[in-house]
Chains A and B, each alone.
Chain A
Amino acid sequence: MRDTLLNITGLTKAYGSVIANREVSFSVGVGEIHALLGENGAGKSTLVKTIYGLVKPDSGTMDMRGAPFAPTDPAAARKAGVGMVFQHFSLFDALTVAENIVLGMDNPPSPRAIAAEVRRVSDQYGLPLDPDQIVGDLSAGERQRVEIIRCLLQNPKLLIMDEPTSVLTPQEVEILFKTLRKLAAEGTSILYISHKLSEIAALCEAATILRMGQVVATCDPRTTAPREMAELMVGQVLQSPVRAARPEGAMALELTGLSAPASHRFGTALRDIRIAVRAGEVLGIGGVAGNGQDELVAVLSGETMSDNDAVLLDGKPVGRSPVNARRALGLLCAPEERLGHAAAPDMSLTENAAVTAITRKSLTRRGFVDWPQARAFASAVIAQFDVRTPGPQHTAASLSGGNLQKFVIGREIMQAPRVLVVNQPTWGVDAAAAAAIRQALLTLADEGAAVVVISQDLDELMEISDRFCALTEGRLSAPRAARGLTVDQIGMMLGGAHDMEVAHVAE
């Protein structure tokens, strides 16, 4: 039995009437890679924020190597040896790697010393990184390395990683795992937050599973079946998506050498994109976000215009047709950003139903919105897609991520599209809702629609797509049949320009 590093007993934290953590107890051993598993809203974030000194618990105690540990702010937590890599990076695009690292320090040494230190740590842990590079030019994986090295320079005893792989390619994940294993071997404990079970099984030695703020189980992920862990996490039996064999349908959506400029300064221009999607088919487009996904959706939805002949819907050119003209023809989209793009946060679900459904559901009478009918449509979406809300009069912002996503996707599916394009359909969505959304997309394809799924989640794409292609730096690879693709092959398709070599880990 190894020594205990961090011991948490009876931790409780409530926000108003919502209890985020109830009597949470678990411990992390020295040099242990410990997984914290749970759906969105299960209380993982609150728990790690408590450890990192961002949240003050209502009751309960923490011990660090036997001594009471109650950090009042992140600086105190860092002093006690806790480092954290957040899911969202806090880096300045315009500064170099070394400058970004210096910014986070209390008594910064000279830039030259830092550069040398960054090189040393990045060599030692196999995290290739040039301290003089501008952060704006780095890939998501490299940005994450900046954050990790920033933590490692403080010699942490406990490193908290919040959903670290959501932005990485498979090869980058492999590099990260090697680093983490090496750190653990040297005695650093790692608290690894994720809901990707395959990763946890590959990396972690112990797992604490949270559901609705409580610890529901502790297990060894190397010996526990992923399905069992998923069901513990969700608290119900999961349905795997099923799909019928489909006959080859007619050509529904074609992109013939589409190019479009970047939507903003740090966006990605689309270059010579060619797609052909048939009715009844699911085309999966993989790739790390920021490689042109937003631009591609905008060009398809009609928010960005392109050459008229570059986008063909049922053989008809629609590249210059406005948004609602495309909807009328049956080309529907569900963008990635739920709040603010797919839905207006402070408007009711009824009003949000009208955002896209006015044309196809004829929700207007001589220019006046037929609100009763819009409400009926919103209620139908809520009922059909099991959106948990007291009613359509509630605002979009009041829904959880998963429920709003079900509403947004459901709103498009219930308009019976010819072609549906969805971007990151299950991003930040709990496992049960994600399964429901995937099933709904498959059912839609079975009914004869063409479905284009853009996602970072490769497991998801492998599960539902018929053909797979990768979007990297605005270019789309040639599609391949999804069945039988190996992780390595996918990685090669995705890899593109990112440094592909698995870095040499110093022994």
Chain B
Amino acid sequence: MIVLEKREAPSRLWAWGSPVMAVLLTMVLGGLLFAALGQNSITVIRTIFLDPLFSEFAWFYRPQILIKGAPLVLIAIGLSFGFRAGVWNIGAEGQYIVGAICGAGVALALYPMDARWLIFPSMVLAGALGGWAWAMIPGLLRVRFGTNEILVSLMLVYVAEQLLAAMALGAMRNPEGMGFPGSRNLSQYPSAANLELISGSGMHWGVVAALITVIFAYVTLSRHVFGFHVRLAGQAPRAAKFAGVNPARMVLICMGLSGALAGAAGLFEVAGPAGQISIDFNVGYGFTAIIVAFLGRLHPIGIMAAGALMALTYIGGGIAQSSLGLPAAAINLLQGMLLFNLLAVDVFTTYRIRMLRKEVS
């Protein structure tokens, strides 16, 4: 008989080993999935995980890892504070959208003014504020009325998507766009564009912001009183209160922080890689970032690595779609599978398997 036995202390090895195991397991199960779709599993897995890095077009794909990874890392870092403290912001996608709308709104309002030193920073600020405000809705509702922030933040994603469509078709539509939906292209408006800093590297201001955020988060969590209180609130809420943490304030700070970072990520995206407010501007970074946060063990450095890996699956998934004709849903499935496997493998962090032989009495 196989039994699960609780470990005396959570295994440190498994805490970091289980993400690796989860990735491997996802490759195996994903392979089976692709085989069921009538594909050669090995080819698909290679296309998704290796081609972006090592194929003959890798020079084109490698910078994409930074471009796709930056918003994931930026959002996931914000979420990790809340997740550590037991504040479950699931609506980063909505905060990302609202951040993009607010930031783009600043640029579009000032178009075609020529003052990059003023416009671009105000856009970043507006983006962060927009995301912060959108996250404050579930935060305040929880603190004031005890609503569930998971549900409220999630539902606000769909509200944000409606808002996005309304903006793309109405208030923000490009007046010179021949009636097509979508705003002016910000990447072609020099004062507002989030351009590549080093040509061909994929490095834009969002990537810089993500790296700074990682360092900031690392220092805060390991050294600052606030980081200590975040960890305490998540592990032992009563002890946190005893240590002087105000639970309501903790909820608002964590919601606000994750919302602001998601909003900033949205702004960097709309001013750079995406370029414009369009109906299909959001591609699910806000949801994928949840996977990134957990895959990275809610640790800033881990999140950076997990962000790079998930960016890889976005790019590889894109290649597999175009070259192998794989449906886009299969890639989403693969990403979801990764979180699912991680949660399953995580059992071994606190439990170990023991084989019990029938006891002879």
**Binary contact readout B115-128 vs A (1 if CB under 8 angstroms, 0 otherwise):** 00000000000000
B225 within 8 A of A: yes
In contact, A303 and B241 (Cβ under 8 angstroms): yes
Bound CA span A351–B231, Å:
10
In contact, A335 and B242 (Cβ under 8 angstroms): yes
> Within 8 Å CB of B243, what residues of A?
323, 354-356, 358
> Within 8 Å CB of B223, what residues of A?
368-369, 371
Bound CA span A303–B246, Å:
9
User: Which residues of chain B from 207 to 243 have a CB within 8 Å of any chain A CB?
Assistant: 223-226, 228, 231-232, 235-236, 238-243
In contact, B225 and A369 (Cβ under 8 angstroms): yes
A364 within 8 A of B: yes
In contact, B244 and A341 (Cβ under 8 angstroms): no
Bound CA span A364–B227, Å:
13
In contact, B238 and A367 (Cβ under 8 angstroms): no
In contact, A351 and B239 (Cβ under 8 angstroms): no
Q: Main SS of the interface on chain B?
A: helix
Nearest Cβ on chain B to A465's Cβ, whole angstroms: 25
> Within 8 Å CB of A342, what residues of B?
239, 242
A315 within 8 A of B: no
Given contacts A323-B244, A341-B238, A342-B242, contact A368 B225 (CB under 8 A): yes
> Within 8 Å CB of A90, what residues of B?
none
A274 within 8 A of B: no
A182 within 8 A of B: no
A343 within 8 A of B: yes
- Which residue of B9, B228, B235 is within 8 Å of A398 (Cβ)? B9
Closest to A322 in B: B244
In contact, B232 and A355 (Cβ under 8 angstroms): yes
Bound CA span A339–B239, Å:
9
Closest to A346 in B: B235
User: Which residues of chain B from 241 to 282 have a CB within 8 Å of any chain A CB?
Assistant: 241-244, 246
**Binary contact readout A366-409 vs B (1 if CB under 8 angstroms, 0 otherwise):** 01110100000000000000000000000101100000000000
Bound CA span A323–B238, Å:
13
User: Which residues of chain A from 77 to 120 have a CB within 8 Å of any chain B CB?
Assistant: none
> Within 8 Å CB of B239, what residues of A?
340-344, 355
B359 within 8 A of A: yes
A138 within 8 A of B: no
> Within 8 Å CB of A322, what residues of B?
244, 246
Closest to A347 in B: B235
> Within 8 Å CB of A317, what residues of B?
none
Bound CA span A91–B84, Å:
34
User: Which residues of chain B from 84 to 125 have a CB within 8 Å of any chain A CB?
Assistant: none
B323 within 8 A of A: no
**Binary contact readout A276-307 vs B (1 if CB under 8 angstroms, 0 otherwise):** 00000000000000000000000001110000
Nearest Cβ on chain B to A235's Cβ, whole angstroms: 25
Closest to A355 in B: B243
Bound CA span A397–B6, Å:
14
Nearest Cβ on chain B to A337's Cβ, whole angstroms: 7
Bound CA span A223–B341, Å:
64
- Which residue of A335, A347, A358 is within 8 Å of B231 (Cβ)? A347
> Within 8 Å CB of B232, what residues of A?
344, 347, 351, 355
Given contacts A344-B232, A345-B235, A347-B235, contact A358 B225 (CB under 8 A): yes
In contact, A369 and B361 (Cβ under 8 angstroms): no
In contact, B242 and A356 (Cβ under 8 angstroms): yes
In contact, B9 and A56 (Cβ under 8 angstroms): no
> Within 8 Å CB of B228, what residues of A?
351, 354, 369
In contact, B242 and A341 (Cβ under 8 angstroms): yes
A75 within 8 A of B: no
A324 within 8 A of B: yes
> Within 8 Å CB of A301, what residues of B?
242
Bound CA span A322–B248, Å:
14
A70 within 8 A of B: yes
- Which residue of A337, A339, A346, A364 is within 8 Å of B225 (Cβ)? A364
Nearest Cβ on chain A to B248's Cβ, whole angstroms: 13
Nearest Cβ on chain A to B352's Cβ, whole angstroms: 11
B10 within 8 A of A: yes
**Binary contact readout A324-341 vs B (1 if CB under 8 angstroms, 0 otherwise):** 100100000101010111
> Within 8 Å CB of B361, what residues of A?
70
In contact, B225 and A323 (Cβ under 8 angstroms): no
> Within 8 Å CB of A395, what residues of B?
9
- Which residue of B8, B224, B236, B359 is within 8 Å of A345 (Cβ)? B236
Closest to A58 in B: B359
Bound CA span A56–B359, Å:
10
Bound CA span A301–B361, Å:
55
For B228, B232, B239, the residue with the greatest tally of chain A CB atoms inside 10 Å of its CB is B239
**Binary contact readout A46-57 vs B (1 if CB under 8 angstroms, 0 otherwise):** 000000000010
Nearest Cβ on chain B to A66's Cβ, whole angstroms: 19
> Within 8 Å CB of A340, what residues of B?
236, 238-239
Bound CA span A397–B224, Å:
24
**Binary contact readout B274-303 vs A (1 if CB under 8 angstroms, 0 otherwise):** 000000000000000000000000000000
> Within 8 Å CB of B238, what residues of A?
337, 340-341
Bound CA span A356–B242, Å:
8
Nearest Cβ on chain B to A289's Cβ, whole angstroms: 16
Bound CA span A303–B245, Å:
9
> Within 8 Å CB of A359, what residues of B?
244
**Known contacts A322-B246, A340-B239, A358-B225; 19 further A-B pairs (Cβ under 8 A):** A327-B244, A337-B238, A341-B242, A342-B239, A344-B235, A345-B236, A346-B10, A347-B231, A351-B228, A354-B243, A355-B232, A355-B239, A356-B242, A364-B225, A367-B225, A368-B225, A369-B223, A369-B225, A398-B9
A-B contact pairs, 25 of them (CB 8 A): A322-B246, A323-B241, A327-B244, A333-B242, A337-B238, A341-B238, A341-B239, A343-B239, A344-B232, A344-B235, A344-B240, A345-B235, A347-B231, A347-B236, A351-B228, A351-B232, A354-B228, A355-B242, A355-B243, A364-B225, A367-B224, A367-B225, A368-B224, A395-B9, A398-B8
List of 10 A-B pairs having minimum Cβ-Cβ separation, nearest first? A344-B236, A323-B244, A324-B244, A341-B238, A355-B243, A344-B239, A344-B235, A368-B223, A340-B236, A303-B241
Residue positions of B touching A, CB distance < 8 A: 8-10, 223-226, 228, 231-232, 235-236, 238-244, 246, 359, 361
Residue positions of A touching B, CB distance < 8 A: 16, 56, 70, 301-303, 322-324, 327, 333, 335, 337, 339-347, 351, 354-356, 358-359, 364, 367-369, 371, 395, 397-398
